[in-house]
Structure 1
Amino acid sequence: MKFEFSLAQLTVLHTSPVEIAKIAANCGYDYVSLRQIYMGLSDEVKYDLKKDKKLMKEVKEVLNSTGLKVLDIELARIYDGMDVREYEGAMEVAAELNAKHILSSIWTDKKGYYIEKFNELCELAAKYNLTVDLEYVPIAGVKNLKETLEVLDNTNADNAGIMIDTHHVHRAKDDPKMLRSIPEKYFHFAHICDACKDIPSDEEEMTRILREERLYLGEGGIEIKDILNNMPIVPYSIELPNLKKVAEYGYEEHAKRCIETARDYCEKYVTGREYATI
């Protein structure tokens, strides 16, 4: 079985779109996942492909010469006071690069509000033939599978989806078997990584591990196969930030080890599940 992999921005965080694309191509990835919607963090360097035509041209040259594809653009966060139209520029970039998906997450506890905004986001993305894939994050507003499914149950958008991250499933203490109840149409891609088995009780420590100490597949204590084998096989975007590994190996070697360990693990343990037509 052939598995497809994408290199997520957080794995090689401080790289430009050209740099991450070159690393992904050199390491044998099928896709790259680009950050074009920024988080407002103090150490972020913004690479706006909509405004920087020279950079856009260089990215296209890498894609065309290597056969690498763009899987998704991140991160369309839903938060208090936001306007979904602020993400349209990134959607235009995604469409121009033939990307397939926009990654989203929810960072407010106001259920009626975030369901409304998620529907607006799906409507806008549909203009660009993009899916909107909702990722739950244990430190966010929508923090587990149950809450995510409530959002999907309250949208009629054909382009709505769910983005499962193996780290978050483990940290949320969700039962992987719950994934079997979800229609196949909602699965478009997934994030994979490993992490320590013990779940931090302190949110600050959970956040630190999430952002800087995830592990190669098979190195930690997450039952990754139980998660992946309860959902269809989709492209796996490797989101595996680890500051120590990057310091030791550099970005490209770290990215190479990410895909090598992921491919070995998937070939040994992942079969996916067969879905009836729903």
Structure 2
Amino acid sequence: MERLSIEPLSVMGLPPVESVGLAADLGLRYVALALSALPNPYGYPSFSLRDDLALRRETLAALRDRGVTVSLGDGFVLHPDMDMRDLAGDVAVMAELGAQRVNTVTFDPDFNRSVDQFGVLAEMAAESGMRTTLEFSPGLAIADLPTALDAVRAVGRPDFRLLIDTMHLVRSGSGPAEVAAVDPDLIEYIQLSDVPLVPTIPNYMEEACFERMVPGTGEAPLREILDALPRHLVIGLEVPLRSQANAGVGPHERLSRCVDAARNLLVQLDDQ
């Protein structure tokens, strides 16, 4: 079963209709979408699925015509003193697009408040038939797997689960053994990329947002991590490759390399 998806960071601002087409052209069933470009360093037309009804209709038509499903709605970021209820309209847009789940991160250092707000988001998403994932990363208020697990357990909803990004996982000090120890029912989604174990870019978020590595070309134990994860989960390819884009390599060529590499990893798992 094809379970790969393309994440918004990988396409670096490519508008949603084109992102849907790219996923379909690569033989994928899934694409993840954000409500606006994040980031957009290459001058693609700016867009807002939040504000542009015509664009939402065009995106829905592209999804239907190309046989692609929105695996993840990204961009639900919690800041201090923010109420997730203010994002009810964004949740509704993702539901309109048929997203299977929405993803959240937090910059709020108050753990208990974050947990409360995660519950609010999860309830809104559930009312629209979507699940919710929590992503952890160095630099965020929930920075590692143990803290994210504490948050998921504190929210206490079966539709609120972990998103495991392989870069964030290894750079925050966890690996295959820690993943294997997690109840698989608490894991909902995977984001796949490779990295060197020792950063080559001093700013973590710059590296994460702009310069990761094609799966299998870095030093992360990707096969072992994937082996420890449930085999039915969607795997989003979150592989921004700014250096290749700057060299003139287009999104189809960049992502086709990632798709081929990810498929090769999955074949290796099946052959074990």
The TM-score, its normalising length taken from structure 2, stands at 0.91
Alpha-carbon distance change, 271 to 71 in structure 1, aligned in 2, over 3 angstroms? farther
Structure 1 Cα separation of the partners of residues 175 and 166 of structure 2: 12
The equivalent of 1:230 in structure 2 is: 228
Which shifted more, 91-100 or 174-183? 174-183
* Letter of the 1:160 counterpart: F
Residue 252 of structure 1 is matched in structure 2 by: 252
> CA separation of 1:164/1:154 partners in 2, compared to 1, >3 Å: closer, same or farther?
same
User: What are the Cα deviations for residues 214-257 of structure 1, in whole angstroms up to 9, with x where unaligned?
Assistant: 01111100001121111102110000001112233111211221
SS in 2 for 1:154: helix
SS, match of residue 85 in structure 1: helix
Q: 1:225–1:270: 8 Å Cα contact kept in structure 2?
A: no
Asked if the contact 2:13/2:40 (under 8 Å) is kept, the reply is no
Alignment partner, residue 73 of structure 2: 73
Name stretches of at least 5 consecutive residues in structure 2 with no aligned partner.
none
Cα deviations by residue, 1:142-194 (Å, 9 ceiling, x for unpaired) = 11001001101211223101000000111011132222332322222210010
In the alignment, the residues of structure 2 paired with residue 271 and residue 184 of structure 1 have an alpha-carbon distance, to the nearest angstrom, of: 22
Match of 2:86 in 1: 86
* Identity over aligned pairs, percent: 22
Tell me the equivalent position of 1:165: 165
Q: Is the aligned partner of 1:47 residue 2:47? A: yes
Deviation at 1:137, TM superposition (A): 0.6
Instruction: Return the offset for 1:134.
Output: 0.4
Q: SS where residue 74 of structure 2 aligns?
A: strand
> 3-state DSSP class of the match of 1:143?
coil
Match of 2:3 in 1: 4
Partner amino acid, structure 1, of 2:16 = P
CA distance in 1, matches of 2:44, 2:34: 11
Distance 1:74 1:63 in 2: 17
Aligned residues: 269
C-alpha distance 47-186 of structure 1, shift in aligned 2 (>3 A):
farther
Note closer, same or farther for the CA distance 1:75–1:271 as it changes in structure 2 (3 Å cut): farther
1:138 corresponds in structure 2 to: 138
SS in 2 for 1:108: coil
- Runs of 4+ aligned residues of structure 1 deviating over 4 Å after TM superposition are 37-46
Q: Distance in 1 between matches of 2:51 and 2:205?
A: 32
Equivalent residue for 1:174? 174
Corresponding residue for residue 32 of structure 1: 31
Question: What's 2:101 paired with?
Answer: 101
Alpha-carbon spacing, 1:78–1:44, altered in 2? closer, same or farther (3 Å) = farther
Question: 1:207 — aligned with what?
Answer: 205
Post-superposition shift, 1:197? 2.3
Give the SS at the match of 2:203: helix
In 2, Cα distance between the equivalents of 1:46 and 1:53? 14
* Contact 1:132 1:159 (C-alpha < 8 Å) held by counterparts: yes
**How far off is 1:80 after superposition?**
0.3
Asked if the contact 2:5/2:236 (under 8 Å) is kept, the reply is yes
> C-alpha displacement at 1:39, in angstroms?
6.8
State the AA in 2 paired with 1:192.
L
Q: 1:40 to 1:65 in 2, by over 3 A?
A: closer
With 35-44 and 145-154 compared, the bigger mean Cα shift is at 35-44
Name the structure 2 match of 1:111. Answer: 111
Greater Cα shift, 35-44 or 232-241: 35-44
Q: Distance in 2 between matches of 1:14 and 1:38?
A: 5
Task: Check whether the contact 1:37–1:76 (CA below 8 A) recurs between aligned residues.
Answer: no
1:115-164 Cα shifts (integer Å, max 9, x gaps): 11111111221111111100101111111001001101211223101000
Alpha-carbon distance change, 240 to 256 in structure 1, aligned in 2, over 3 angstroms: same
Which residue in the other structure is 1:126 paired with? Answer: 126
C-alpha distance in structure 1 between counterparts of 2:271 and 2:229, whole Å: 10
Task: Give the deviation of 1:77 after TM superposition.
Answer: 1.2
1:216 aligns with 2:214: yes
- Aligned to 2:179, the other structure's residue is in SS state helix
